[in-house]
Amino acid sequence: MKIESGIKFMKDEGRGRPNKYPFGEMEVGDSFPVPEGDGFRSRCAASAYGKRYSMKFSVRKYEGGYRCWRVA
């Protein structure tokens, strides 16, 4: 094999699976409704995303379901 240098590295876009919840698009004060059976799952996802990207979220019961707010 021939070794080459000076070739620009192409960043691989679109790796991994898409996010189920829109945490990355939220500003402080924004919220979204959580599907009925996803209360616990969304709380865990919000916590993990918040720790990784230095954000804070709150998932609470709201009008017969759940709702997730970005609080910081």
Nearest to residue 69, comparing CAs of 35, 40, 28? 28
Q: How many CB atoms lie within 10 A of CB 57?
A: 20
What's this model's pTM, rounded to 2 decimal places?
0.74
- Whether 36 shows a pLDDT value over 70: the answer reads yes
Does an H or E element contain 66, and which? strand 65-70
Residue type, 67: R
- The 10s digit of each residue's pLDDT in 8-21 is 777 666 677 888 99
- The 10s digit of each residue's pLDDT in 44-62 is 999 999 999 999 999 999 8
Backbone φ and ψ of 55, nearest 5°: -125, 165
Q: Compute the distance between CA of residue 67 and CA of residue 56 in angstroms, rounded to an integer.
A: 14
What is the residue-averaged pLDDT of the chain? 88
Tell me, what's the pLDDT at 14?
64
Tell me, what's the pLDDT at 12?
65
Query: Where do we find the tokens 């409704």?
Result: 33
